[in-house]
Amino acid sequence: MGRVVIDVMPKPEILDPQGKAVAGALARLGFAEFGGARQGKRFELEVEGDVTDDVLERAREAAATLLSNPVIEDVVAVRAAS
């Protein structure tokens, strides 16, 4: 069985309150070297057989249609899981 991994991140210009909360918690825990954090999403799609170019193309389509909202998010990676 093959697996496609899709990463979605909030657009840089859109406020990311979750990332802000994570950054605040990191600072409180002493991870002072991390000045900022942004939180995104990772999807794993399973397919029968290998991850071909066609499968990746369909995964990109799914990412644009359902898995991300282009108004607020970018699909930053669509790749076969290693």
Tell me the site size for another protein, rule CB under 8 A.
Answer: 12
Q: Does 71 bind another protein (CB under 8 A)?
A: yes
Mark 38-64 as b/e (b = at least 16 C-beta within 10 Å).
Answer: eeeeebebebeeebeeebeeebeebbe
Residue of 57, 61, 69, 81 that binds another protein (CB under 8 A): 69
Q: Binding string to another protein for residues 5 to 44, with x set by CB under 8 A, is what?
A: --------xxx-xx-xx-----------------------
What tokens were used for 30? 């002493």
Assess contact for 2 and 49: CB atoms under 8 A. yes
Interface contacts to another protein, rule CB under 8 A? 13-15, 17-18, 20-21, 66-67, 69, 71-72
